[in-house]
A and B are shown apart, each in its own frame.
Chain A
Amino acid sequence: MPAATRTYWLTSPCRIRRKDESLVIERDAAPSVHIPVTDVRDIVACAETDLNTSVVSLLNRHRISVHLLSYYGDYAGSLLTADTSTSGETVLAQAALARDPQASMAIARSIVDACAFNVRRVIDRKLLARPYTVLQESIREATTPLHLMGAEGTFRRSAWEVIDTKLPDWLQLNGRSRRPPKNAGNAFISYVNGIIYARVLTAVRLTPLHSGIAFLHSSMERQRHSLVLDLAEMFKPLFAERLLLRMASRNQLKHHHFDRDTNQAMLSDTGRKLVVQTVRDELAVTVTHRALGRPVAYDELLYLDALALTRHCLEGTLYKPFRIWW
């Protein structure tokens, strides 16, 4: 998402006030910051945030959304501006694909495949070679999204086992648990996934696609934005699993980054700051894009993927979900 505007990340509890055309971020322990509203693309609130009607109307006028991450780092919701780029004709084309079982299964299959490809790529190519082959087989045989999700679950379980062999005891996942996460590793993964979900939502809303019409996840899911769940799949491993492994091996994660008791865990204040900072830096990392022939930031990859899906809907060009190519 190349732009002069930026994403603002709020990592400590704060209040957002409005002063003319500026946002004022007030914090307890630190001086207030003034930000011209034209400098803001969107806001990710990773800590308790207060705001009022006049702020919301200013944000609305400038098409700025605020994404809220809950205490556990689960995505809690967003203040979305009313004005999206959604276009009737594009949404109709998207809906037509979603209702065509063959077309939507083709998209769902390629999403599951790309996701597993990326998981394998970041965890262990060798140890996951066999589970990946099995998955590809199941993908071919699957006839409904539910089958696909089942196959993906099986693959994921193998992946969790392998990832545990590379983590220190206290960061091991012992299977995936959410709401609340059972241990530190899961708390980390949940939190990063929450951030990625919010970034994909921002990306989708820059396209004319409808965030509620999905291909793999059911459009009836608890979360309203099921398309965002679809598109986040391929990107979660690039951030969550990859950064967990990297930060563990570099000894960057410490016990004090988590608040833990016997049955649940979450990031502590310092842990949350560290993780947000790390993900934020990672989103700014660039790679040379093969088709576009220019450097693109990881953050932009999310947007380009949403654009490619838009093009698939409008023009029927082949949609190849994001795969780590470097």
Chain B
Amino acid sequence: MIGREDIGGVHIKYLHHCRRQLWLYVRGIRPEHLSAAVQTGEAVHDVSYPRHSPVDLGAARLDFLDGQQWVHEVKSSSRPTDADRAQAYHYCHQLQRLGVEVQGAVLHYPATRRTHRYPYTPEAAAQAEEDITAALATAHAPVYPERLPRTGCRGCSFADYCWTE
């Protein structure tokens, strides 16, 4: 199964949204190939910042790194979430591991024209480490995590799997 190096931004996002989602994801449930919501997300990606090519970190992908060593990520949602922030710290963590002295992350929300800046502090670094540990524990859990209350599943692309009878 997966190890610490394999944990990417998606794992961290799922960890914060719903542990069951993470558990299913590592078992090959990939409804995002189908989900219309995700397709919209990709479209936002393509049109918003066409000048910058994405940086591929293997497990993680981020949109670009500017001259001042800030990571930039474009989000298709309109509201910032804890999951977004955790994901941003995770990218910083990965860059740090590669020897990049990253300053922090800037999240762009084109839908509302907002940006959020998260400096990569020692607390943030500790948080990123803890998240990786928690993601691994969830991924390796022998028993599936229970579903969220149904309202928490709104918009989740795993809902077909979780809620079909």
Contacts and interface: CB of A to CB of B under 8 A. Distances in A.
A310 B34 contact: no
Nearest to A315: B144
16 contacts: A2-B34, A2-B36, A3-B34, A3-B39, A4-B39, A63-B33, A85-B29, A86-B28, A89-B1, A89-B27, A90-B28, A208-B29, A303-B34, A303-B160, A304-B160, A304-B164
A2 B35 contact: yes
A1 B39 CA distance: 13
Contact of A207 (B1, B29, B39, B144): B29
B29 A310 contact: yes
A59 to B, nearest CB: 15
Interface in B30-45: 30, 33-36, 39
Interface residues of B, number: 19
Contacts of B159: 292
B164 A206 contact: no
Interface string A310-323: 11001100001000
A277 B34 CA distance: 24
B163 to A, nearest CB: 6
A143 interface: no
B55 interface: no
Contacts of B82: none
B159 to A, nearest CB: 7
A87 interface: yes
Interface of A: 1-4, 63, 85-87, 89-90, 206-208, 289-292, 303-304, 307-308, 310-311, 314-315, 320
A167 B77 CA distance: 55
A235 to B, nearest CB: 16
Interface of B: 1, 24, 26-30, 33-36, 39, 144, 159-161, 163-165
Interface residues of B: mostly helix, strand, loop or mixed?
loop
Q: Which of B26, B30, B159, B164 has the most CB of A within 10 A?
A: B164
Contacts of B144: 314-315
Nearest to A289: B164
Nearest to A320: B165
Q: Which of B29, B39, B159, B163 has the most CB of A within 10 A?
A: B29
Contacts of B164: 289, 291-292, 304, 307-308, 311
Contacts of A303: 34, 160
Given A291-B165, A308-B165, A1 B34 contact: yes
Contacts of A304: 160, 164
Given A3-B36, A206-B34, A292-B160, 16 more contacts: A2-B34, A3-B39, A4-B36, A85-B30, A89-B26, A89-B27, A206-B30, A207-B28, A292-B159, A292-B163, A292-B164, A303-B160, A307-B164, A310-B161, A311-B161, A311-B164
Contacts of A86: 28
Given A3-B39, A292-B163, A314-B144, A87 B28 contact: yes
Contacts of A292: 159-160, 163-164
